[in-house]
Amino acid sequence: MKTIGLFVGSLRRESFNKKIANHLTGIAPKGYEFKIISLEKLEMYNQDFDDDGNPPASYIEFRKQLNELDGFIFITPEYNRSVPAVLKNAIDVGSRPYGKNSWDGKPGAIISSSLGNISGFGANHHLRQSLVFVNVLTLQQPEAYIASVNKLFDDTGKLTSESTSEFFQKFVDAFAKWVETTT
């Protein structure tokens, strides 16, 4: 069994990206578990904590979680045409202390979304840029840009769009193949 961490770039209670993540947990391919990794309590990165050799418990726990995962899927809105701070902070905390990059060499994928048609393109590609540097082997195709995300779920948070549901299944199947190729 391979465990893939899902990282959501929004802390909002009714977050559409959290709803996507919840949906994905139910459609993991055979032999895979998709597990949401909470970023709610991860403190803002401060290099002093690492340099002093006394990182906060939230860093230690987060890095331990990363080290136990077989891959990563990032599901994110766009904030001001870029990656929300909560997700960028997670990348930064996981990449340190210097020489101990917990993202290193593992497969990943990105799903971005927006209420309009641009679908978080800016966040998707800024995130991709950071993932190059921390050496996450990021799936290139299919890309996942989810438009009009606010129209895809019912009041209980269930995905109601059949075409989007089919797309997510194809996406996670492609990701599983990618994991097999890269590991």
Q: Is 116 in the site for ligand FNR (CB under 6 A)?
A: yes
Please name which of 35, 38, 9 lies closest in space to residue 24, comparing C-alpha atoms. 35
- Min dist. Cβ of residue 175 to ligand FNR (A): 20
> 106 and 141 in contact (C-beta within 8 Å)?
no
Buried b (16+ CB within 10 A) or exposed e, 34-59: bebbebeebeebeeebbeeeebeeeb
The SS3 assignment for 61 reads helix
- Min dist. Cβ of residue 14 to ligand FNR (A): 7
Q: Which is nearer to ligand FNR, 87 or 137 (CB)?
A: 87
Q: Is 55 in the site for ligand FNR (CB under 6 A)?
A: no
- Min dist. Cβ of residue 8 to ligand FNR (A): 7
d(CA 152, CA 10): 17
Report the residue from 66, 78, 110, 139 that binds ligand FNR according to the rule CB under 6 A. 78
Binding-site size for ligand FNR (CB under 6 A) equals 15
Q: Stretches 7-15, 33-41, 49-57, 93-101: which one binds ligand FNR (CB under 6 A)?
A: 7-15
